[in-house]
Every structure is written in structure tokens, then in C-alpha cells.
Amino acid sequence: MGLTVGVARDDRFLEHKTGHFHPEHPQRLSAIYRMLDQTFADRVDFYKPEPANLEWIEKVHTPAYIKRILKTAEQRITSLAPDTPVSAGTYRAAWLAVGAGMQGIDALASGRCDAFFALVRPPGHHAEADRSAGFCIFNNIAVAARYAIERYGQDRILIIDWDIHHGNGIHDIFYDDRSVFYMSTHDIMLYPYSGAMEETGGGPGKGYTMNIPIDRDMTNDDILYLYNDILPSLFAGFRPKMVIVAAGFDAHSGDPIGRSRWSETVYAGITRLLIRLGRQFSPFTPLLFSLEGGYDPPSLTASVKAVIEALLADHETQTPDLNPGQAVHDLIRKIRLTHAPFGVIHD
């Protein structure tokens, strides 16, 4: 039986203008929304988000930074960072993007949905406590995780970041926090050039960060084999109460920035794996997806569609037959050796 799926969407996200030649443009989202209307109009529950309450944004971001975001409403277009232009409508879109993630937490915690996809912009996983970076304004996922922990007592949150760029903002915000396990697969040779495997968390959070630098030439079978090896051990050891996916789709072969080799079948395959692992627990481990990168509208739309189709599928999919290269086996061995001292992942 398929999952009950909620989707947050709102045309106000399109009011975040970035200029004619910027890759993070409104057409990314409008293309996805057209696909939703054509394919999922009566198959998912649509939610209209409300702006986040200020107190929750302040759990992650400094008051001075929040004030700086508000002041952008006074200018037609400006920049918060060299790669992060904003417009007069950005502050509202950013506030709504945070609110959509919190709305997803509410829907999942109440049992109204098994899975929720916040289809938002601007993205968030590069945003730090006091600054914008990498097209990101507020750290949507970090606020959602903090909200789940403090509002609903979900003290074991697993964040999976499959965006091809390392989510340095999420990484740094929860680096010392054992209530959140952050796992990222990323190309360390791409912006922000961070996320070394040896960075495993600090203080009480030691062992609760898993950085997996990957080669951009990894095939679909390579990456699916990696996830099918590591995630079951992570679920067994950490036993997450909720999973949040930083759903960036810029590792797709069609993406102009990621320059990797994945297809949408990878994202669908990881989603099916998360469903299978979540069903091992009672109640089911709920899933929140929040849109991050992905800059080619056709491949981005196909990838989002593949994820939602996987969530709605009414049949159990077994572990696929995969033929990974030797480099993946070597990478898995290195991951396990790095994390063995912490006892968080179990065989």
C-alpha cells in the first residue's frame, strides 16, 4: 500500500527573483508545479504554507541576520552574497519556505501524512546561522529539525542530504548535537568544498555526522549500492524517529552545475529504500523532503516526479540487483572504518 503524501506548494515562492541568468530561478518551481497538476492533482494532499513564526527562525539564525533579510524588502534587487541575489519578494518567499517545512513536521507528527514534500525556494542547506551562501537564505531544514525536536520531542532526527553539494549549513548547525544525525553524499570538489569524511561531529555529537565524498563519475548502481549498504546499518543503530531529506537533484546527468551521472531512478531507489526501512518500525518512520538544488527544469521535474511516484507506489520493492564498481566497495570500507569507533551504525 502506498503512503499518504502531502505536498506544500505556493506561487509566492516564485516572487523570489534572482535575475535572468541565475541558475536558481522561478522557472525551476513553476515547471514542477505544472507537472504536479498534470500527474498528481488527485493523488496527493496539497498544503498552502504559512510564514514561519519568528521565534523558530531565531532558534537557528541570529537576530542581526534575520533583520538583514527583512531589509531586502526595501530594494528591488540586491545581493546577500556574491552568488545569492535577492529581490523585494525574497524575504516573504524565504519565510514561507521555512514555514512549509514546519507545516510538514506538523502533518507528519499528527499522522495526517506518512511523507511530505516541501516544494519551496529559496533553498536552504548552505545557509549558516549568520549569513547567506550558495543561493540559500534561511536554513529551512535546520529550522524544521529544531521544530520537530522541541515541539514534538523527536529527539532522533536523521537528515539525509543527497544534493551533490555539501550542506555545510546543516552540517555546522548540528555538528555538536547528538539529537540529529547528518549524512551527506557530495562531490567535495564542488562548492562549498567542504565535508571531509574525517569530520564526524564534535563534543556530544561526535559520531553523528557522516560525510561521504563521492566521485562525480559514480553510476546509478554505484550510488544505490552505497545507500543500500550504509542506510540499513544507520537505521539499526540510530533508530531515527523521523527522516528529513535535503532533496537536491543536481547530481542528475542533465544538470548544468552538478556534472554527475545519476538519473531520476537513483532518487526513486533511495526513496523506496527509506520506505522499506521505515516500515521496520512501528509506527512508520515519517519522511520529510525539502527541495534544495537542481538547475535543469526537465531533469529536476522528472526527479521530483520519480520520488513522489515511489512514495505513492502500492507495492513493496525488493533490493535491486546492482553491479557497482570496486571503488564503491573501497569507499564503503573506509566509511565503516571511520565510524566504527562511535558505535552509532550497526551491522
Known catalytic residues?
126
Contact, 295 vs 28, CB < 8 A? yes
CA distances from 326 to 197, 329, 336 (A): 19, 5, 16
Grid coordinates standing for 92?
516573504
Looking only at the bridges linking them, the beta strands covering 115-118 and 157-161 are unpaired
Cβ atoms within 10 Å, residue 234: 21
The CA distance from 244 to 144, in Å, is 9
Picking from 247, 223, 287, 283, the residue whose alpha carbon sits closest to that of residue 4 is 287
How many angstroms separate the CA atoms of 345 and 122, rounded? 33
Four-CA torsion 167, 112, 275, 255, nearest 10 degrees: -40
C-alpha–C-alpha distance, residues 246 and 237, integer Å: 21
Alpha carbon 275 to its chain's center: 16
